Amino acid sequence: MADLAMQVVVSPFLGVLFDNLSSLIQNELALLYGLEKEIKKLSDTLLTIRNVLEDAEEQQLTNKTITTWLIKLKDAAYEADDIVDEWATGAIRLASEIRTTCTNQVCDSLLSCFRFEQVQVRHKIAKSINELRQRFDEIASERVRFHLKEGGVERKLEYYKSRETSSILTEPQIYGRDKEKEYIVSVLLGNSDNQENLSICPILGIGGIGKTTVAQSVYNDERVAAYYEVRIWVSVSQDFDVKRLIRAVIVSISGACTIEDLDPLQRFLQEKLDGKLFLLVLDDVWNENQEEWNRFKYSLRCGAKGSSVIVTTRLKTVASITGTCPAYSLKTLSEDDCWSLFKQRAFGTGNEENLNLEKIGKEIVKKCGGVPLAAKVLGGLLRFSVEEKQWLFIRDNRIWDLPQSNENTILRALRLSYTHLNAHVRQCFAYCSIYPKGYNMRREEVIDLWIANDLFHCKEKLQLEDIGNEIFNALLWRSFFQDVKRDEDGNIETFMMHDLVHDLACSITMNECCNVVADGKIINVPEGSRHLSVSFKTTPSSSIFQFIHQSTPNLRTLISLIDMPTIDEWQGRQLPTHLNFSAFKSLRAMSLEDIRVTTLPDSIGNLRHLRYLKLSCDEITSLPESICRLRTLQTLKLMNCSKLQMLPREMRNMINLRHLDIKKCDRLREMPISMGKLTCLQTLSIFIAGPDSGRHIKELQELDNLGGELTVKGLQHVRSSNDAKEAMLMGKKNLRTLSLNWSYPQMEERNDKDVIEALQPHPNIKRLSIKGYQGLTLPIWLEFSTLPNLVEVFLDRCTRCEQLPSTSLARLPLLKTLQLHAMHSVKIFSIEYMVNGFQSLENLELDDLPDLEECSSAVGNQEHEQQLLQFPCLKKLIIRKCPKLKRLPLSSSVERLDVEFCNDMISGFRELVSFPEGMLTHLPALQSLSIWNCSNLKTLPAEVGDLSELTRLGIISCTNLVSLPSELRNLSSLQVFSIFRCNQLNNLLDVGRTSLTHLTIENCSDLTELAEGLRYLTTLQSLHISRCPKLTVSTVEFQNLISLRHLTIENLPELTSLPDGLQHHPTLLYLQISEFAALTSLPNWMVSLTELRCLSISNCKNMRCLPDGLQLLTNLQSLWINDCHPELHRRCEKGRGEDWHKIAHIPDFKI
């Protein structure tokens, strides 16, 4: 193992343990055990160790003996944490039992029972504490040998000191950075127009990505050299000393500087730069102190207009406080550029390449993840090496196990960023190595797992989740996390770690966090693992879990990861019901996602340390009552458990529960009683109001911390407005999404209007859904725009509602989506005499409004001008089942238009034969057009050919469509064309000649000819033809479809054999053949389809054998045969059938 590989971090974990002990000492319930003195002694011992930890964690970098001492300390800390947590759990249980009693007599009885058991419990815990204290005393005594300093010590970075850089280019050739260089040069040379006297351009990226090389390339560019009078290079590193930096700038300009004090230094610098056009490069900046940066920056504001500073940094915070223009984030190199750099280092220039080594080398390059430093280091390790064995060693070993050179190595460069973090952040980062490389991690889940494992503790008045978000952002801003994906509110949902950053995390945790694959073979779980994720490639069994326990008896995290199984594989992945979870005595977090759970074992209730439990399975119908014994459980995720009918009855006792996620648990009938006692809840995705005591809506009253999404069902059970007010929705300021749902057996109005008025949410709400409401009007709080932050409104099945607060909705400044479904009594959606309504609306959906006649405004002199005033940002417009609507609310900004069941639409056209002339000319931005169920439509208007931005066109169930206009050939951007159930259409034009990539034709009973329509489609990649009984494809010139990759042909009675044109199509990747009664065999020329990856044959009842030579298709990965002739099934039997030798090489074979 490399010297740099391991750095044990104990201080944050020991800090949490120390705080927990202190809390127990102060807890009056702890006094009942009479153990306060023993706990105090242990706490004092831990304090003496804690005082020297920071120095120990620094010194371990050069002293392996200290590393061994820290490992011993951490193991002891883990064991102590279990005991302390067990004690705390007992205190929680007793407190809960006392709180739930009703009389003093019962309380006295409880305490008497507790005292009866006290001697035995006290003896057990006292023995454990004494053993721990002796162990920690021994560890504490060893610290003397290391001469560790108490208190905080200044972080020593000598071991990681980065190389001092200069402006001199040392690379013989720079690969893959021409675009970056040209962009930055253009920014610099364009700065003369900048209003700022000093322009600052940050270059951002992870360690080793090539920031210095790009800056050197820009610095030495001839155009840059000619443009600036003075060019200066300063290597900054982590020592951001203002005087040192100013002195370095002066030395670079004049060659010498003996001034010591700051003021004369600043004045002398300004004299040197006064009126001059200069470029200053500050390489490798780490300073995040705004004041320090300002002190330096203001010394530079003396040059000529257009003067510039380039700052290279790994930290987004640095880029944020320094930059006057957006930071340029360097991306990884392409695989080709990375290979070129690696090849230069490994083979040298002009040397003959070895083809075998080149193949291995390209596999090695994948380890580099596009990071230039990695390519240089790994290439350098193999410099002029011709031994294949050495190349294979580099390919097959982990980055941190490779030989370390005296140069800046890969992990050394990345570790600089790591050592710059505080201890808590370091530990959270290292924990992420529990996931495999390339895994899309979910931010919320990762933070919950950090919390479950006590990787940090509360401070001030912040919630644990707030601290977790701070830590996450710190890692994101320092480029440890990347490729973030955000939700509709801009919050980060998922993220990834670069492969080399993941290697760094693994090198820190070594075996403590790991991922293993369960593929039916022996699982290799490293000794000492405490946090484990398992990618199940085979059916989970009790033996697998038993083996995991035997290998890792002190496991704290167990996660199953999604690997997108097939249905058959998933059906087999049933969790063994007899599994005994009690063996996992230290478990803090468990996720059984994507494992088929039908019944959860009762032993789940024995996991007394468990904080986090995630199940996501639509087979489970109930949870064992034993789960309510998990008094320390903080997070219970049951989303997508669609068959779950009830929650455990005693959930009110789970008083530490913070998150109960039951999204898409649609079969839940009722809530457990007294859910209002769970006052720590921050997430409760569904609450079902019931008629019984303990299930009334007032259970929401005390849950003031609820945030995110809340769906309130069963509102028909709320009797009055007073009852509804008790929910206190107005006080839940952290909620962002609220859904109010009524469910009546028969749609009828009771007291809905009074109830909904009392359910007014907090103004912070962003998404509002009202379903099944039977009042005649919507609530006043919606009509008077008391919710200014609304971005989405969804009204569904409000069948008696006659009026919509159109004007109020139109005034909402942030409203982007408005959906109206099944509003059967609404006739008019009109905004009279209002200018500039719906200024932010992007999506409008009107579905099943049978009486809607008008959706317009009465502003402006011309009809089209009226629409533009109202919907200036409208992008998606969907109109379904609005048969009386006479005019579309169009806008020139619309990109998607779907029209379905709207035969009366536009100017009173009761029988819509064609679109009115000019309707589409006002849609220049239209990208997607779908026309559904317009049964009388016979053709499309010629102006459809003018939609130059149209990329998708769908015509569905227009049963009288007889022709398509020739102007469709003009659609130069069309990529996807779908036509379904157009029974009168007999010919297809060559639509989208130069752009079409996907064509689907289905259920067109009169279609006879395709040859003309396909002949010129040279860009077509996917063709799907199905259930066209008169269609013949034998005349199709498939050889002209040079881009075709996917072909599906289904149920064409005229087809007796595959079209011969396909044999000239070696680039075909996917071929699906289905429902051909006349097809008896496949042609032998199929061996010419050399690139074929997947072949699917189904419902070909007369197909009896496979073609000769199929075994020559070496790229074929999948063969699926379903419901064909029994003879074919027999011939394909594994190891015995006559055709088995033709398919034995195919990895994925199903019959």
What the chain holds in terms of domains, given with CATH numbers, is 11-146 (no CATH), 163-329 (3.40.50.300), 335-407 (no CATH), 419-509 (1.10.10.10), 511-674 (3.80.10.10), 699-789 (no CATH), 802-910 (no CATH), 911-922+941-1048 (3.80.10.10), 1056-1151 (3.80.10.10)
Task: Tokens 């509360």: give the residue.
Answer: 458
Contact 599, 576 (CB under 8 A): no
351 pLDDT band, cuts 50/70/90, is low
Q: Is the pLDDT of residue 1093 over 70?
A: yes
Contact between 8 and 74 under an 8 Å Cβ cutoff? The reply is yes
Determine the number of helices (DSSP H) and then strands (DSSP E) in the chain: 31, 37
Q: Give dist(CA 643, CA 598) in Å, integer.
A: 10
Q: Which of 101-105, 389-393, 561-565, 1107-1111 has the lowest mean pLDDT?
A: 101-105
Contact between 436 and 561 under an 8 Å Cβ cutoff? The reply is yes
Residue 457 has which token pair? 């503790």
What is d(CA 875, CA 211) in angstroms, rounded to the nearest whole number? Answer: 40
Of 229-243, 563-577, 881-895, the poorest mean pLDDT is in 563-577
Dump pLDDT digits (tens) for 516-526.
Answer: 887 666 667 88
User: What is the dihedral angle through the alpha carbons of 903, 906, 908, 909, rounded to the nearest 10 degrees?
Assistant: -50
CA 620 – CA 641 distance, rounded (Å)? 6
368, 245 Cβ separation under 8 angstroms: no
User: If 0-12 CB within 10 Å is exposed, 13-18 middle and 19+ buried, where does residue 374 land?
Assistant: buried
Averaged over 311-326, what is the pLDDT? Answer: 92
For residues 732-737, average pLDDT: 96
**What confidence score (pLDDT) does residue 860 get?**
38
Residues of the chain with pLDDT > 90: what percent?
A: 37
Interatomic CA distance for residues 915 and 926, integer angstroms: 16
Contact 1020, 1045 (CB under 8 A): no
Check whether 953 has a pLDDT greater than 80. yes
One-letter amino acid for residue 821 of the chain:
H
**Mean of the pLDDT values across residues 144-165?**
63
Check if the beta carbon of residue 415 is closer than 8 Å to that of residue 508: no
Residue 354: its pLDDT value, please? 78
pLDDT band at 228 (very low <50, low <70, confident <90, very high): very high
Answer for the pair 1121, 1095: CB distance below 8 angstroms, yes or no.
no
- Confidence at residue 28, expressed as pLDDT on a 0 to 100 scale: 47
pLDDT of residue 390: 83
Distance CA 916, CA 941 (A): 8
Between 934 and 235, where is the model more confident?
Answer: 235
> In sequence order, what are the residues at sequence separation of 6 or more whose Cβ sits closer than 8 angstroms to the Cβ of residue 1026?
1001, 1002, 1003, 1048, 1049, 1050, 1051
57, 70 Cβ separation under 8 angstroms: yes
pLDDT(906) > 60 = no
Top-ranked range on mean pLDDT: pick from 618-632, 929-943, 980-994: 618-632
Classify the C-alpha dihedral 509-512-514-516 as positive or negative: positive
pLDDT band for position 566 (cuts 50, 70, 90): very low
pLDDT value at position 472? 95
**1000 pLDDT band (50/70/90 cuts)?**
very high
C-alpha neighbours within 13 Å on the C-beta side of residue 715: 29
CA angle 247–253–258, rounded 5-degree value? 40
Q: Identify the DSSP state of 736.
A: E
- pLDDT > 50? residue 1080: yes
∠ CA 376-382-388 to the nearest 5 degrees?
140
Task: Provide the pLDDT confidence category of residue 296 given band limits of 50, 70 and 90.
Answer: very high
152-161, 406-415, 1040-1049, range with greatest mean pLDDT: 1040-1049
- Residue 829's pLDDT is 84
| Cα four-point dihedral sign 380, 385, 386, 392 | negative
Is residue 1063 within 8 Å of residue 1040, measured between CB atoms? no
Token pair of 499 as six digits:
């492969």
**Res. 778 pLDDT band, cuts 50 70 90:** very high
With bands split at pLDDT 50, 70 and 90, how would you rate the model's confidence at 456? confident
Phi-psi region of 239 (alpha: psi -120 to 50; beta: other; left: phi over 0): beta
Q: Which amino acid, one-letter code, is at 658?
A: R
Measured on CA atoms in the order 152, 155, 156, 160, is the torsion positive or negative?
Answer: positive
pLDDT at 635 over 70: yes
Can you give the pLDDT at residue 116?
44
Do residues 356 and 347 touch, judged by C-beta distance below 8 A?
A: no
Query: Would you say 887 and 910 are in contact if contact means Cβ atoms under 8 Å apart?
Result: no
* Interval 707-732 mean pLDDT: 94
Burial class of 543 by CB neighbour count within 10 A (0 to 12, 13 to 18, 19+):
exposed
